[in-house]
């Protein structure tokens, strides 16, 4: 089974990036040169129009599309497809001056001044009207244009607005959520605490450092509202595009694990998922870990649209100017880092940016074409080489990642965990999910990263670390999954609160108690110097940060605590339910445990790995069309490593046979079909 290509008429891997020709309108010879260079680098797409509002509508209602016409016509001549942006990511000054309501208000209730970007009010009727008007113009003008490939909605939607219009919208949203009953809201938010009961809807306000920050139910609903209001804005700005160009897919660039928006929800307004990936290679964590984190975010992005191919919308071909250190990508690295996205299900490699801008804050950000202006740079050479490699991957376009294992990463849970006080202030949710993910990633197991709203039945194994907040229905879904033969793993700090962040009464892990066959009586926060350990199958595993004191209620203890007053209590349990099992990991362990536990799960669940054992810093991923498997083996380390390709297959670039032991160069990649 294959998905159709994301861009109609472009059945290839997309190779492109952000391009801002409006910055070079006075020098048309540069435009000409740009197309020569784009061809040379094997680019088949450019993302244009991002932040172009003033160039398109210099004065209210006065449009100028002449420059964009030229660019799109030129792209069509070169057989390229445009990912055409709506300009709502940044506003013209005339608009802010005439309609101050479009300017965002911060949590401190101060309205910003004109400037920067990504800072409009999502609720403002004026902003929505202006966006709809220009989007209508764009869609009318370019509907049917041979270069129009996809719509790039705005840019990196982010943040929140606390203006009076947004406060009113928040109250309306709450009224709908709580059936117009302030009593229901007061109960859900537990407002009797500290005498915070509301007696009139008009008293309800968004959280603020100058006001309420400790009503957890309020904070949670405000975070949800921010996502819903962004989604509502997306839908409003999409209306003319959907109406006038119904066949052109809508995409916006997400930001991986960006904390403030629930991307699983936001994806509802999109046809295709995409994200901007800026890994910090060569930092203190080491590239093996950096690669795993990038892999995690690729998988997460793919799963926001249920596994369909996604776009790597931005990446730097060289250094990234906002990072603390502007490290250059080392020779060879660019191709491997770029194709890593494809290995995890992307159908594109795209850059920020094509041509380096001459002024302002991004003039030293990596780009395909540097200020020198020609193709004779190392970076250009690496981009070209990557483009060449992509031309050999037509068969991979539209294929899926065959994940049998999923890890749950849930924004609602993330928000409330951050708020929850006690045990240990720093919860480390992201790191914990990643630690579980990495065990499988290092073994070349394709993974899905999903939230609690997604179906579980297609997996053999589902891991839900620190699942503190349980969404309605999740416990039942997990139980049905296990009864049907699945394996479910969860950990300490799970099943504590419901969807309102109210504690479950009657014992933790709340509605997961029966499935897991345990009762958690207490949770111990550990100081860095505290020591304890677990004994499991004759081995000792050190634990840290969190240790729960749990009792068996049907489950079997696999591992036990070694020290302290809970020595001898279970620390790792398994409960057999129906045809499957549910594991509970009662404490936070290190890499030694994750390695052994992952091996145990792979063995007992019969999970397939892409290749056999892999050396550290090597990743193996696969995609499939149902008949062929496309295997990507990547070495992220700065030295060559030997890998066992097993029975191997046909190298997708050279056509040679790959099998048995072979060498991957430093930061090198091998791709074969089997």
Q: Work out the number of other CB atoms within 10 angstroms of the CB of residue 508.
A: 24
Q: Does 155 bind ligand GLA (CB under 6 A)?
A: yes
Phi, psi of 633 (to 5 degrees): -120, 120
Say if residues 618 and 641 touch (Cβ distance below 8 Å).
Answer: yes
Q: Is 520 helix (H, G, I), strand (E, B) or coil?
A: strand
Q: β-strands 669-673, 649-651: how paired?
A: antiparallel
Phi, psi of 537 (to 5 degrees): 50, 50
Q: Does 364 bind ligand GLA (CB under 6 A)?
A: no
The partner in contact with residue 278, picked from Zn ion, ligand GLA, none with C-beta cut-offs of 5 to 8 angstroms by kind, is: ligand GLA
Pick between residue 147 and residue 367 the one whose CB is nearest to ligand GLA.
367
Smallest distance, Zn ion to C-beta of residue 94, A: 20
The answer to whether 499 is a known catalytic residue is no
Question: By CB under 6 A, what part of segment 14-33 binds ligand GLA?
Answer: none
Smallest distance, ligand GLA to C-beta of residue 313, A: 8
Total residues at interface with ligand GLA (CB under 6 A)? 11
Smallest distance, ligand GLA to C-beta of residue 320, A: 5
The partner in contact with residue 632, picked from Zn ion, ligand GLA, none with C-beta cut-offs of 5 to 8 angstroms by kind, is: none
The answer to whether 156 is a known catalytic residue is yes
Q: What is the DSSP letter of 6?
A: S
Distance CA 596, CA 669 (A): 27
Smallest distance, ligand GLA to C-beta of residue 316, A: 6
Question: By CB under 5 A, what part of segment 148-167 binds Zn ion?
Answer: 161, 163, 165-166
Q: How far does CA 374 lie from the centroid of its chain?
A: 34
Among 228, 276, 448, 451, binds ligand GLA (CB under 6 A): 276
Question: By CB under 6 A, what part of segment 203-222 binds ligand GLA?
Answer: none
Radius of gyration over alpha carbons of the chain, in Å?
Answer: 26
Q: Is 525 left (phi over 0), alpha (psi -120 to 50) or beta?
A: beta
Phi, psi of 528 (to 5 degrees): -55, -35
The length of the chain, given as a count of residues: 674
Question: Of 57, 625, 92, 102, whose CA–CA distance to 395 is shortest?
Answer: 625
Among 156, 160, 228, 499, binds ligand GLA (CB under 6 A): 156
The partner in contact with residue 121, picked from ligand GLA, Zn ion, none with C-beta cut-offs of 5 to 8 angstroms by kind, is: Zn ion
The partner in contact with residue 194, picked from ligand GLA, Zn ion, none with C-beta cut-offs of 5 to 8 angstroms by kind, is: none
Phi, psi of 481 (to 5 degrees): -60, -45
Query: Residues 57, 74, 156, 160: which is the catalytic one?
Result: 156
Pick between residue 171 and residue 242 the one whose CB is nearest to Zn ion.
171
Among 121, 270, 272, 547, binds Zn ion (CB under 5 A): 121
Say if residues 216 and 196 touch (Cβ distance below 8 Å).
Answer: no
Distance CA 478, CA 450 (A): 13
Smallest distance, ligand GLA to C-beta of residue 565, A: 50
Smallest distance, ligand GLA to C-beta of residue 91, A: 15
Stretch that binds ligand GLA, among 61-69, 163-171, 314-322, 430-438 (CB under 6 A): 314-322
Q: Does 356 bind ligand GLA (CB under 6 A)?
A: no
Enter the tokens of residue 596.
């052994």
Among 122, 281, 352, 493, binds ligand GLA (CB under 6 A): 352
Distance CA 303, CA 242 (A): 23
Say if residues 613 and 633 touch (Cβ distance below 8 Å).
Answer: no
Query: Residues 57, 160, 314, 438: which is the catalytic one?
Result: 314
Which residues contribute to the site for Zn ion (CB under 5 A)? 121, 123, 161, 163, 165-166
What are the residue numbers of the active site?
A: 156, 314
Kindly list the residues in this chain that would bind ligand GLA in the complex (CB under 6 A).
Answer: 155-156, 253, 276, 278, 314, 320, 322, 352, 362, 365
């Amino acid at each position: 089974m294959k998905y159709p290509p994301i861009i109609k008429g472009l059945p290839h891997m997309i190779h492109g990036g952000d391009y801002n020709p409006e910055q070079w309108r006075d020098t048309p010879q540069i435009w000409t040169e740009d197309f020569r260079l784009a061809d040379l680098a094997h680019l088949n797409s450019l993302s244009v129009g991002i932040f172009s509002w003033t160039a398109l509508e210099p004065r209210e209602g006065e449009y100028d599309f002449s420059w964009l016409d030229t660019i799109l016509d030129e792209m069509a001549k070169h057989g390229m497809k445009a990912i055409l942006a709506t300009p709502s990511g940044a506003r013209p000054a005339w608009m802010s001056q005439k309609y101050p309501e479009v300017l965002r208000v911060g949590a401190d209730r101060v309205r910003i001044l004109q400037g920067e970007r990504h800072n409009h009010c999502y609720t403002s009727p004026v902003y929505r009207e202006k966006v709809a008007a220009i989007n209508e113009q764009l869609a009318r003008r370019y509907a049917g244009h041979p270069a129009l490939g996809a719509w790039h909605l705005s840019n990196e939607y982010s943040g929140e607005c606390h203006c009076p219009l947004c406060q009113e919208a928040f109250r309306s949203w709450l009224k709908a959520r709580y059936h117009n009953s302030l009593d229901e809201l007061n109960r859900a938010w537990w407002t009797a605490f500290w005498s915070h009961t509301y007696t009139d809807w008009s008293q309800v306000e968004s959280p603020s450092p100058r006001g309420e920050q400790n009503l957890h139910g309020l904070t949670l609903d405000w975070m949800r509202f921010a996502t819903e209001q962004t989604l509502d804005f997306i839908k409003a700005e999409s209306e003319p595009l959907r109406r006038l160009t119904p066949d052109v897919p809508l995409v916006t660039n997400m930001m991986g694990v960006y904390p403030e928006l629930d991307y699983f929800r936001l994806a509802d307004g999109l046809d295709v998922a995409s994200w901007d990936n800026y890994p910090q290679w060569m930092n203190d964590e080491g590239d093996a870990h950096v690669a795993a984190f990038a892999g995690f975010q690729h998988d997460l992005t793919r799963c926001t649209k249920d596994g369909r191919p996604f776009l790597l919308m931005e990446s730097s071909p060289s250094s990234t100017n906002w990072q603390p250190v502007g490290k250059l990508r080392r020779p060879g690295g660019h191709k491997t880092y770029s194709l890593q996205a494809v290995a995890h299900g992307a159908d594109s490699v795209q850059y920020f940016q094509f041509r380096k801008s001459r002024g302002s804050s991004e003039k030293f950000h990596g780009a395909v074409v540097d200020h020198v202006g020609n193709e004779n740079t190392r970076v250009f050479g690496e981009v070209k080489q990557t483009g060449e490699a992509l031309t050999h991957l037509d068969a991979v376009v539209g294929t899926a990642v065959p994940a049998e294992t999923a890890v749950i990463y849930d924004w609602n849970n993330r928000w409330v965990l951050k708020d929850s006080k006690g045990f240990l202030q720093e919860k480390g949710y992201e790191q914990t999910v990643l630690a579980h993910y990495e065990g499988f990633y290092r073994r070349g197991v394709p993974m899905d990263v999903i939230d609690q709203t997604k179906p579980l039945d297609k997996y053999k194994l589902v891991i839900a670390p620190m699942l503190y907040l349980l969404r309605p229905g999740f416990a039942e879904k997990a139980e049905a999954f296990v009864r049907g033969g699945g394996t479910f793993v969860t950990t300490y700090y799970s099943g504590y609160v419901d969807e309102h962040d109210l504690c479950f009464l009657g014992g933790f892990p709340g509605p997961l108690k029966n499935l897991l066959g345990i009762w958690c009586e207490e949770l111990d926060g550990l100081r860095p110097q505290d020591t304890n350990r677990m004994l499991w199958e004759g081995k000792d595993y050190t634990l840290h940060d969190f240790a729960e004191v749990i009792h068996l209620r049907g489950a079997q203890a696999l591992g036990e605590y070694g020290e302290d007053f809970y020595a001898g209590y279970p620390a790792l349990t398994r409960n057999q339910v129906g045809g499957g099992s549910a594991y509970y990991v009662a404490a936070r362990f290190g890499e030694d445990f994750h390695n052994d536990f992952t091996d145990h799960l792979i063995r007992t669940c019969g999970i397939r790995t892409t290749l056999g054992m892999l050396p550290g810093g090597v990743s193996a991923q696969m995609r499939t069309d149902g008949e062929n498997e496309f295997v990507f083996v990547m070495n992220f380390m700065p030295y060559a490593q030997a890998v066992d390709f097993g029975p191997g297959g046909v190298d997708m670039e050279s056509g040679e046979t790959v099998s048995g032991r072979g060498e991957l160069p430093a930061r090198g990649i091998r791709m074969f079909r089997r």
